[in-house]
Amino acid sequence: MSARIIGTGSCLPSLVVDNRKLEEIVDTTDEWIRSRTGIESRHIAVEETTTSMAIAAAQAALEDAGISAGQLDLILVGTISGDCVFPATACQVQSALGAERAVAFDISAACAGFLFGLGIVDAYMKAGRIRTALVIGAETLSKMMDWKDRSTCVLFGDGAGAAVLREEEQGILSILQASDGQKGDALICENRRVNNPYRENSNELDYTKMNGQEVYRFAVRTVPQSIEKALDEAGVGADEIKYFVLHQANIRILEAVAKRLGQPFEKFPTNLQKCGNISAGSVPVLLDEINRAGKLQRGDKIVLAGFGAGLTCGTAVLTW
Ligand code: UT7
């Protein structure tokens, strides 16, 4: 038996900020952002929160799956931008849904958070511990940006995506998770420093900092390798894959991965043009778009892959 995705959902903030609007607040241009990343606009939370979007995405996914919250055994939220340090966003989602039976906790794996969640579901199901699970990727990274730093603030957007998984004959065929803590400094937000009456400068806050080129190199090297390995483990050829649903950080990364895999770029759906990089929300929001557009048929084989801070990388091959 394996974990099969039986429903998806997503939620994006109502405010859309295009590149031209950013030109008003930071030293950048629409031309630079489009040509270096492919991003044209992004959704930014004003009234929405990580939790409210996670709940809305979860409700949409449950409806799509045709199951009730009471059937859930496990709720996982991949997030690095929860509204509270504790309780976990997943516990807040559990409460809002009324999913009383579900165990709920968060996963801190940045842009690979949704994939790491799928990895946990896969393992729990194989161990016979759960039958039905909800995995969410939800972020409001806008609150962790230095809006004067053009090298980061133009890249990210807010939003949440969710998937319901159930134990079935066909589903996740292989799933890989990898972490490289040695490269942790390449993408970091250090805003929970030691803070108490016995330490000077206790209240310093910091924002997201990225060595873009290092993360870029990691992505174009690690992601194709990871996909090839996952395909190998699944016994599936790249040509059999209908879609490669990859983390939406930069269109140039997606093009490089397609080239390395020798696959046509048409197999790599994108929404980064309108959403930017939603970190853990990226893959499930895009998956929901494809699902709702009716582009997936039962039995299709797809690849999901997320990569980012940690550095982390998660890749899954699955049957829809
Ligand atoms: O989700 C986590 C995963 N994250 C990623 O995968 C990100 C991976 N990295 C990237 O996508 C790219 O490295 C970036 C899009 C972040 C940057 O693109 P780049 O082609 O590597 O540019 P760069 O950092 O080498 O900067 C080139 C120039 C610099 O100016 P000088 O030093 O050449 O004069 C930057 O100061 O572009 C400048 N620059 C900008 N100019 C206008 C950097 N950001 C901006 C900006 N607007 N927003």
> Catalytic pick from 111, 153, 189, 313?
111
211 in ligand 1 pocket by Cβ < 6 Å? no
Which three-class secondary structure string do you get for the chain? CEEEEEEEEEECCCCEEEHHHHHCCCCCCHHHHHHHHCCCEEECCCCCCHHHHHHHHHHHHHHHHCCCHHHCCEEEEECCCCCCCCCCHHHHHHHHHCCCCCEEEEECCHHHHHHHHHHHHHHHHHCCCCCEEEEEEEECHHHHCCCCCHHHHCCECCEEEEEEEEEECCCEEEEEEEECHHHHHHEEECCCCCCCCCCCCCCCCCCEEECHHHHHHHHHHHHHHHHHHHHHHHCCCHHHCCEEEECCCCHHHHHHHHHHHCCCHHHCCCCHHHHCECHHHHHHHHHHHHHHCCCCCCCCEEEEEEEECCCEEEEEEEEC
- Catalytic: 291? no
pLDDT reported for residue 203 = 65
Pocket test for ligand 1, best of 27, 39, 151 (most atoms within 8 A of CB): 151
- Catalytic: 84? no
Q: What is the mean pLDDT of each run of 10 residues along the chain (320 residues)?
A: 96 98 98 98 98 98 98 98 97 98 98 98 97 98 96 98 97 97 95 84 80 96 97 98 98 98 98 98 98 98 97 98
pLDDT reported for residue 195 = 83
pLDDT reported for residue 202 = 63
pTM of the model: 0.97
